[in-house]
Amino acid sequence: MDKPKSLPPILYVDDEEDNLTVFNSAFRRDYEVHLALSGLEGLEIMKKYPIQIIITDQRMPEMTGIQFLEKIIPDYPDCIRMILTGFSDIEAIIQAINTGRVYRYITKPWSKEELKINIDKGLETYSLREQNRKLIEDLKEANQTLEQKVIDRTKKIESQNQEITSSIQYASKIQSALLPQDEELYNLLPSYFILSKPKDIVSGDYYWVTNKDGKTIIAVADCTGHGVPGAFMSILGVTFLNEIVSKAVTIRANEILNQLSGQVIKSLHQTGKNDKTRDGMEIGLCVVDPEKHKLQFSGAFRPLYIFRENELQEFKGDSMPIGIYEQEDQSFTNTEILFNKGDIIYLFSDGYVSQLGGTEKKTFRSESFKKLLVDIHALTMPEQKKALEEKFLEWKGNYDQIDDIMIMGIKM
């Protein structure tokens, strides 16, 4: 059998026993009625039972109804409080509402029907308060649990990010170790600068310098993507260039690019189909013969700039990449240039000219880059690097860097 539903406990306080008897007789079947002859006796009952509604007479010796209701507020704030009065005393009623926080005041003599309606409404209010209180407690507990989960998850993410960042920083050291070191560069290029500004910790842009048969081979490349994917491609590029040049019998700039493109296509299994990778790189490559004062240039989407007698000359590269291309049998062009002592050559990726900035958030553009080189070409190599970096930071302002940047300047 189902357990009988318990009746809601209520307390009636009155200093007249007859009134207590009448009240109990009227409501004992509807509620769990508790009776008290005084406020003090009512306080003892409150300690023993979970009273939901208190109904008290106002005029009582020792402690009035208002005083009783006011006294229980700190310990029983959710209890519904009602007061009975047989006097039309507006000041007492106002006091009851203000100090005793009375839910209802009822005048004597009361009717059973009216009082029951008020008690039932009071119990409904009490139930709603309890539900709200429980809901608030549940929300607090849920919030605390959620906050702890967020804290734990944040710590985990921070730890993972730290591990990833540490790994990428170590990868950056490996990437740097594969590039020509300062001592080697100074031996091959007595007067030069390299401006390298990766967008992330590692870069998809790279430079490469080596010597073969008295010729110096110089390249600046911009791989597909940046960050870790670009860095992997750059390592492939450096590895392939080292292999190609070491095996070469004759050093020609365009042949180096032809073989580099073939190696990339082969290693990445590129077929030209839509479902296959089309990653690759743009590159400008020079072969410098210092004895003959001759320079070979070949480019994949990248140009070569030369300053000679205060005049800037541009030699464009071919409009095809290192990697899969529609006309895969087409060879890169080899351009031969005689240079003079004091000429300055520039090889670079497109990160500098692509940077958004200025007052209108536009790209820096090639024309502005050329003008900047015209303005600074008479400076020393370190001064040119500083000027380029300062102009970049001024142009970028508060905008994010959008791509890797690599610029190499060499005084012949």
Q: Decide which of 92 and 14 is more confident.
A: 14
Q: What share of the chain is helix, strand, coil (3-state, %, to 5)?
A: 45, 25, 35
Task: Name the residue among 343, 345, 363 with its Cα closest to residue 355.
Answer: 363
Among 20-24, 174-178, 375-379, the minimum mean pLDDT is found in 174-178
Q: What is the pLDDT of residue 276?
A: 55
Candidate from 326-330, 343-347, 357-361 with smallest mean pLDDT: 326-330
Tell me which residue of 411, 390, 404, 412 sits closest to 193, measured CA to CA. Answer: 411
Over range 82-109, report the average pLDDT: 72
* Residue scoring higher pLDDT (94 or 341): 341
**β-pairing verdict for 304-308 and 311-315:** antiparallel
Comparing CA positions, the residue from 57, 37, 61, 114 lying closest to residue 69 is 57
Whether the Cβ atoms of residue 364 and residue 410 lie closer than 8 Å to each other: no
Helix 227-247 vs helix 112-178: angle between axes, to the nearest 10 degrees? 10
Higher-scoring residue by pLDDT: 86, 394: 394
**Nearest residue to 41 (alpha-carbon basis) of 19, 21, 67, 13:** 13
What was the pLDDT predicted at 106? 83
pLDDT in tens, 240-290: 999 999 999 999 999 999 999 999 988 888 876 654 556 789 999 999 999
For the purposes of burial, counting CB atoms within 10 Å of the CB of 26, is it exposed (0-12), middle (13-18) or buried (19 or more)? middle
Cβ neighbours of residue 377 closer than 8 Å, sequence gap 6 or more: 307, 310, 312, 344, 384
**Which residue is it, tokens 């560069």?**
185
Q: How far apart are CA 264 and CA 245, in angstroms?
A: 15
Residue 326 has pLDDT above 80, yes or no: no
pLDDT tens-digit profile of 111-136?
899 999 999 999 998 888 888 888 88
Count of other CB atoms within 10 angstroms of residue 7: 13
Q: Which one is predicted more confidently, 88 or 200?
A: 200
Residue 331 confidence (pLDDT) above 90: yes
Q: What is the mean pLDDT of residues 313-318?
A: 96
The alpha-carbon radius of gyration of the chain (Å, integer) is: 44
Higher pLDDT, 166 or 124: 124
Mapping DSSP to helix (H, G, I), strand (E, B) and coil, where does residue 294 land? strand
For the record, the structure tokens of 285 come out as: 């490559």
pLDDT mean across residues, the chain: 88
CA dihedral 65, 71, 75, 81 (to 10 degrees): 20
SS (H, E, C) 202-251: CCCEEEEEEEECCEEEEEEEEECCCHHHHHHHHHHHHHHHHHHHHHCCCC
Among 52-56, 220-224, 230-234, 402-406, the minimum mean pLDDT is found in 230-234
How sure is the predictor about 93, in pLDDT bands with cuts at 50, 70 and 90? low
Which pLDDT score, from 0 to 100, does residue 149 have?
86
**Average pLDDT, integer, range 129-156:** 86
What confidence tens digit (pLDDT) does each residue in 283-309 have? 999 999 999 999 999 999 999 999 988
Q: Which helix (H) or strand (E) holds 315?
A: strand 311-315
Residues forming beta bridges with residue 318, ordered by sequence position: 300
CA 136 vs. chain centroid, Å, equals: 31
Is the pLDDT at 342 greater than 50? The verdict is: yes
CB-based contact 199:231 (threshold 8 Å): no
- pLDDT at position 322: 92
Residues 74, 100: contact at Cβ < 8 Å?
no
User: Does residue 43 surpass a pLDDT of 90?
Assistant: yes
pLDDT reading at 101 higher than 60: yes
Closest by CA to 251, choosing from 213, 307, 305, is 213
Q: Which residues pair with 410 in a beta bridge?
A: 192, 345
The band of 1, judged by pLDDT with boundaries at 50, 70 and 90, is very low
Q: What integer is the mean pLDDT of 136-153?
A: 86
pLDDT at position 4, please? 59
329 pLDDT band, cuts 50/70/90, is: confident
Least confident of 95-99, 154-158, 296-300: 95-99
- What pLDDT, on a 0 to 100 scale, did the predictor assign at position 78? 87
Q: Pick from 397, 395, 404, 377: which is nearest to 193 by CA?
A: 377
Q: Give the pLDDT of residue 159.
A: 82
Task: Label residue 332 by pLDDT band (50, 70, 90).
Answer: very high
Rounded to an integer, the average pLDDT of 144-158 is: 86
Sketch out the chain's domains with CATH numbers. Answer: 9-134 (3.40.50.2300), 179-411 (3.60.40.10)
Instruction: In whole angstroms, give the CA distance from residue 89 to residue 107.
Output: 10
